[in-house]
Structure 1
């Protein structure tokens, strides 16, 4: 007789033990991997939305132009389930850790720099959106590598200097020596002129990413009734897109 190990639906590990039964008599399991966020699970759920595959589909549809009701209709689940799944998206990162991991300290400079290019240049910009009504604005502040186009970090906040200072703090480990931006005052107030170049000519890549976001995420289209109704949901969908597509994380 061949015994097949039980795999955790989240981490795919086999460090699984039995953990009693459900009210319906189904075997419940517990994952013992300390790094896994899943506590208990069963192999066959009566309600399809509890399965990890459906949760993955909810995330994929959210970052590919589907609204909450679209997703619920296609997957045959409730809109509440869709919203709760998106709100609980685990481990969203604000910094591109893959790029940060490629940084190496140099012997001649205190700052960190890329091993193959110490003159790191970044494009920074902010993209307008809103939650509930246009009076409640929500801005995406982010930065990309001017050479590779990789997204480095992002912040979701209002349109004040504090938001850019949060982004600037996230960018410090990258050792950026030149910032490219438009003429918004926050950049001129908080970036020394010697490290700052103003003009749309050098921000074409990040402006193109704005268009990609508005095309891919339904709630960001300029002329639509599919707008966000809560800051939590708004930030979760945008953060999920950036983590999945820009950072390459499998969350």
Structure 2
């Protein structure tokens, strides 16, 4: 028998665990351990697969069944993953020139449908990158937060097309904003992305049992997909 920490074979018995298994202690480094422990650290391959599954329309319970991990462990892993996700867009650098941005807001909820959380999004009409995001209520304050989430070059050079929702004119500079009807097609890309988001993120499906119970996880899951979406676009643009 070898110590799992230092590899020493100078091992002695050290009582039993609360579950009745023989406990051992390394005389060299002091590490206590049991032979063939039930709990083992998850491999890097397992975590990498879970990271990919978190980007799909699968509930945490479904991922736990597929990967054969405990739901409690998976919930803790997902919490840590979402907390680490940056809440700021990463986009291809742009020159100071005319840019076209489409904006829209997407309904969602956390815990129950009375707790509405609107997902405000902005997309570059040429590259299709998501260039702004904010999750909050449907007020002008949230529209302003969406505007502030845009990279500086967009706030300086872009014309932002939105629907006729009243919050936009109160938050966006008039010279940078143009409200339009759906029939113009000038918000079609962001509306299509809303559909993509609902198809990929299970907690955004309208009639779902995979809804978020914590606002932090709701926000983290959305940002996690946005970063993946933009990274995939950058790879395609670089290859093409």
TM-score by length of 1: 0.71
Partner-residue secondary structure (3-state), 1:97: coil
Q: Distance in 2 between matches of 1:70 and 1:49?
A: 21
Once the two structures are TM-superposed, the CA of residue 51 in structure 1 deviates from its matched residue by: 2.5
| 1:155 counterpart (134, 137, 143) | 134
Which consecutive unaligned segments of at least 5 residues does structure 2 have? Answer: 1-28, 235-240
TM-score by length of 2: 0.74
Q: Note if 1:242 corresponds to 2:226.
A: yes
Determine if contact 2:131/2:151 at 8 Å carries over to the other structure: no
Number of corresponding residues: 199
- The 5 Å alignment of 1:1-251 reads 23-24=32-33, 47=39, 50-89=42-81, 91-99=84-92, 102-104=93-95, 113=96, 118-174=97-153, 175-199=156-180, 200=182, 201-248=185-232
Instruction: Work out which of the two has the higher radius of gyration on C-alpha atoms and give 1 or 2.
Output: 2
Q: Distance in 1 between matches of 2:41 and 2:140?
A: 41
Determine if contact 1:125/1:143 at 8 Å carries over to the other structure: yes
Once the two structures are TM-superposed, the CA of residue 192 in structure 1 deviates from its matched residue by: 3.3
Aligned to 2:16: none
Q: Distance in 1 between matches of 2:59 and 2:124?
A: 31
Moved over 4 A (4+): 45-49
Task: Give the superposed CA RMSD.
Answer: 2.6
Once the two structures are TM-superposed, the CA of residue 91 in structure 1 deviates from its matched residue by: 4.1
Q: Is 81-90 or 126-135 further displaced after alignment?
A: 81-90
Which consecutive unaligned segments of at least 5 residues does structure 1 have? Answer: 1-19, 27-44, 105-112
1:207/1:49 Cα in 2 relative to 1: closer, same or farther (>3 Å)?
farther
